[in-house]
């Protein structure tokens, strides 16, 4: 198989699918637009949901890209060989065009052809959906893999938990998938050993999802009118596999930062297991922070939503930096390296370089103050202990409120000849995780990217609100994010101070006057250059020549957007701003409804 670095793999993947008549589209923002179900873009399909549901994409029915993604559900596993909080997903899509046959043939060609990855057929293993009461056994995919040349004994039928994707919420598009694995050559862990095992024999390299069903609110799986293909191949993992590395941290994506951490700390990476884990966590978390802050819709640290996740990542990096004696402001130097290494692919990082460095330094300073407060709290706690044991719930409070990892509390306790109830801590920690999971599940209660009439109307209202804010507060106002549920819209925008009551009322009145006048909401498909020439507003995150959708409200607003919209202003209802508040530094947030 070919040994490729990250830049070579990105280019080879996109060139391959361009040769198969796919349009190459830009990576969307990490901050989802008008999607209440997720904090970050977690897969390549998220920005494409309207098109997977039937809307026409301006670039056609065949697409491919490299999408930046963030997933923090496995944050506690970061530090092992494979887990990352930020990753790049190579993907290709068919929006109602080709289906299983062409998708599988393309995957097989790219993986095994000497021109591309040149992976030997003999080390590939495949899993397909075994079937259940909701959908039949996917013998079609299995037969297609056999036709490609995969032996039947290396094709595994697995249940829904292994070979089914979606829906992301309780309802929406979903379907069986076929996953492609590398057989590492390890001995089988038993007679039932398969790609479903965690024994390490099989490593997933690519996933082809066949979206052919829509799950309804009453749990039925209805065949979709438009059947889609959605594939995903992780860049980091694939580079790791191709080069025979044991860890993604051996790839060119991480090695420069690990060497810099060595230089900044005076410690050797890999000298011992705990130090290696600290190196990896710092390298991973700072990379993710760079992409969150430096994104087109980048956020800063706060106590809610994306800002809270960013804060947690940076404070974790600070804590592990202490373990290896990193000096203050070392994290921003690591961030600067990532900006320089990635800006050719993601130019927004270079544009936001100063913002990235300043925010990381600022949060490190904030956390230092919090730790100082935590140490004062620790001193109070030990004065009240009677049996020389710090209770588990108290240890957890130090972790949750002041960011003290259990190891840090144990070290402090040991200095005072005290012990920590670690079992009690684990109980409190597990309970906290359960509550967090329940909270996350609530984000999905409406299904992924609700396209109902009311959300389409609210989406259109955000365009009216955006333009009204620019008229009242000035043209420096720019959208920093939005979140729409069937109940309300939430709109974040750049502005340095609270709005006055008079300004809020003025914005409300402008929006309602436009709604009252009525008129159509017209969609035009334009190139980025054409959209700029027409003074459309929005994030120009697309590459030269790429087409975008521009929604026009005659005489008032012209904005680039990819979400669902009302076809007319008539019937939108009365626009009411319920609240205006701070979201994060330099960003304000408005909540509004249509009545």
Beta pairing class for 419-420 and 557-560: unpaired
Q: Which residue has the higher pLDDT, 471 or 450?
A: 471
- Are 116 and 61 in the same domain? yes
- Are 77 and 127 in the same domain? yes
- Calpha distance 110→104 (Å, rounded): 10
Preceding omega of 418 cis (within 30 degrees of 0): no
Q: Give the residue numbers spanning the domain of 389.
A: 385-446
Per-chain mean pLDDT for the chain: 89
Contact 130, 157 (CB under 8 A): yes
Percentage of the chain exceeding pLDDT 90: 60
- Are 498 and 423 in the same domain? no
Tell whether 377 is covered by a domain: no
- Are 400 and 497 in the same domain? no
> Last residue of a domain, which of 309, 338, 370?
370
Mind listing the pLDDT tens digit for each residue in 35-76?
Answer: 666 789 888 888 888 888 788 999 999 999 999 999 988 787
Per-residue confidence (pLDDT) for residue 35, from 0 to 100 = 64
Contact 50, 459 (CB under 8 A): no
- Calpha distance 516→536 (Å, rounded): 23
Per-residue confidence (pLDDT) for residue 420, from 0 to 100 = 93
- Calpha distance 183→125 (Å, rounded): 6
φ, ψ for residue 550 (rounded to 5)? Answer: -115, 125
Other beta carbons less than 10 A from residue 10's beta carbon: 17
> Last residue of a domain, which of 344, 370, 396?
370
Stretch 459-468: mean pLDDT:
93
- Are 113 and 237 in the same domain? yes
The answer to whether residue 444 scores a pLDDT higher than 60 is no
Mind listing the pLDDT tens digit for each residue in 73-127?
Answer: 878 788 888 789 999 999 999 999 999 999 999 999 999 999 999 999 999 999 9
- Calpha distance 418→34 (Å, rounded): 50
- Are 302 and 410 in the same domain? no
Q: Which residue has the higher pLDDT, 160 or 274?
A: 160
- Are 227 and 271 in the same domain? no
**Which of the four pLDDT bands, split at 50, 70 and 90, describes residue 445?**
very low
| DSSP 3-state of 102 | helix
| DSSP 3-state of 584 | strand
Residue 426 CB burial class (10 angstroms; 0-12, 13-18, ≥19): middle
Give me the CATH number covering residue 14.
3.30.930.10
Stretch 160-186: mean pLDDT:
88
Tell whether 306 is covered by a domain: yes
Tally the C-alpha atoms within 13 A of residue 229's C-alpha that lie toward its C-beta.
Answer: 25
- Are 74 and 193 in the same domain? yes
Task: Name which of 377-391, 417-431, 530-544 the model is least confident about.
Answer: 530-544
Q: Which pTM value belongs to this model?
A: 0.82
- Calpha distance 51→94 (Å, rounded): 10
Tokens of 410: 């144990």
Per-residue confidence (pLDDT) for residue 451, from 0 to 100 = 64
**Which of the four pLDDT bands, split at 50, 70 and 90, describes residue 145?**
very high
> Last residue of a domain, which of 422, 446, 470?
446
Give the count of domains, the chain: 4
- Are 307 and 414 in the same domain? no
- Of 257, 174, 269, 157, the closest CA to residue 215 belongs to 174
Tell whether 375 is covered by a domain: no
Tell whether 82 is covered by a domain: yes
**Alpha carbon distance, N-terminus to C-terminus of the chain:** 60
Tell whether 376 is covered by a domain: no
Per-residue confidence (pLDDT) for residue 545, from 0 to 100 = 72
Tell whether 380 is covered by a domain: no
- Are 390 and 479 in the same domain? no
- Are 536 and 582 in the same domain? yes
- Calpha distance 225→241 (Å, rounded): 37
Tell whether 559 is covered by a domain: yes
**Which of the four pLDDT bands, split at 50, 70 and 90, describes residue 443?**
very low
- Of 204, 302, 233, the closest CA to residue 88 belongs to 233
Mind listing the pLDDT tens digit for each residue in 394-410?
Answer: 999 888 777 777 877 88
**Which of the four pLDDT bands, split at 50, 70 and 90, describes residue 446?**
very low
- Are 152 and 17 in the same domain? yes
DSSP letter string over 528-558? Answer: HHHHHHTT-BS---SPTT-EEEEEEETTTEE
Stretch 124-148: mean pLDDT:
96
């Amino acid at each position: 198989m070919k040994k490729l670095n990250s830049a070579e793999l990105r280019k080879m993947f996109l060139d391959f699918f361009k040769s198969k008549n796919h349009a190459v589209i830009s990576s969307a923002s990490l901050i989802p637009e008008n999607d209440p179900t997720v904090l970050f873009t977690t897969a390549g399909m998220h920005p494409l949901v309207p098109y997977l549901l039937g809307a026409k994409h301006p670039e056609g029915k065949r697409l491919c890209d490299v999408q930046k993604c963030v997933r923090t559900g496995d944050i506690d596993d970061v530090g092992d060989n494979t887990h990352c909080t930020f990753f790049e997903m190579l993907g290709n899509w068919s929006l109602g065009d080709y289906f299983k046959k062409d998708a599988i043939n393309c995957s097989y060609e790219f993986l095994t052809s000497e021109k591309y990855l040149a992976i030997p057929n003999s080390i590939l293993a495949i899993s397909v959906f075994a079937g259940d009461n909701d959908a039949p056994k996917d013998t079609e995919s299995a037969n297609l893999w056999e036709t490609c040349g995969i032996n039947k004994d290396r094709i595994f039928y697995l249940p829904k938990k292994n070979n089914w994707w979606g829906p992301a919420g309780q309802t929406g598009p979903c379907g069986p998938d076929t996953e492609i694995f590398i057989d590492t050559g390890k001995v089988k862990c038993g007679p039932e050993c398969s790609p479903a095992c965690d024994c390490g024999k099989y490593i997933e390299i690519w996933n082809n999802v066949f979206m052919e069903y829509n799950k309804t609110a009453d749990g039925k799986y209805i065949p979709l009118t438009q059947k889609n293909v959605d594939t995903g191949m992780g860049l980091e993992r694939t580079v790791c596999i191709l080069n025979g590395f044991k860890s993604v941290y051996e790839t060119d994506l991480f090695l420069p930062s690990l060497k810099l951490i060595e230089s900044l700390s005076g410690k050797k990476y890999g000298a011992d297991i705990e130090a290696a884990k600290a190196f990896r966590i710092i390298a991973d978390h700072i990379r993710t922070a760079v992409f969150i802050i430096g994104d087109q819709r980048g956020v800063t640290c706060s106590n809610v939503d994306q800002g809270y996740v960013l804060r947690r990542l940076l404070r974790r990096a600070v804590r592990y930096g202490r373990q290896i004696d990193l000096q203050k402001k070392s994290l921003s130097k690591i961030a600067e390296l990532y900006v320089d290494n990635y800006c050719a692919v993601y130019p927004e990082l270079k544009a936001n370089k100063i913002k990235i460095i300043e925010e990381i330094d600022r949060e490190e300073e904030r956390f230092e103050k919090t730790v100082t407060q935590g140490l004062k709290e620790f001193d109070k706690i030990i004065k009240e202990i009677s049996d020389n044991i710090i209770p588990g719930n108290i240890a957890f409070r130090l972790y949750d409120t002041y960011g003290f990892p259990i190891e840090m509390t144990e070290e402090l306790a040991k200095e005072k000849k005290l012990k920590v109830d670690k079992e009690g801590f684990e109980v409190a920690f597990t309970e906290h995780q359960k509550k967090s999971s329940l909270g996350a599940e609530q984000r999905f209660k409406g299904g992924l990217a609700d396209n109902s009439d009311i959300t389409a109307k609210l989406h259109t209202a955000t365009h009216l609100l955006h333009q009204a804010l620019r008229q009242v507060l000035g043209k420096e106002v720019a959208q920093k994010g939005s979140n729409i549920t069937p109940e309300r819209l939430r709109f974040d925008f750049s502005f340095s101070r609270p709005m006055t009551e008079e300004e809020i009322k003025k914005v409300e009145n402008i929006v309602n006057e436009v709604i009252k006048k009525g008129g159509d909401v017209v969609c035009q498909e334009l190139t980025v250059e054409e959209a700029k020439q027409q003074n459309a507003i929005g994030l120009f995150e697309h590459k030269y020549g790429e087409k975008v959708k521009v929604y026009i409200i005659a005489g008032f607003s012209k904005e680039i957007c990819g979400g669902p919209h009302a076809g007319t202003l008539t019937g939108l209802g009365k626009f009411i701003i319920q609240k205006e508040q701070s979201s994060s530094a330099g960003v304000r947030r408005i909540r509004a409804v249509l009545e």
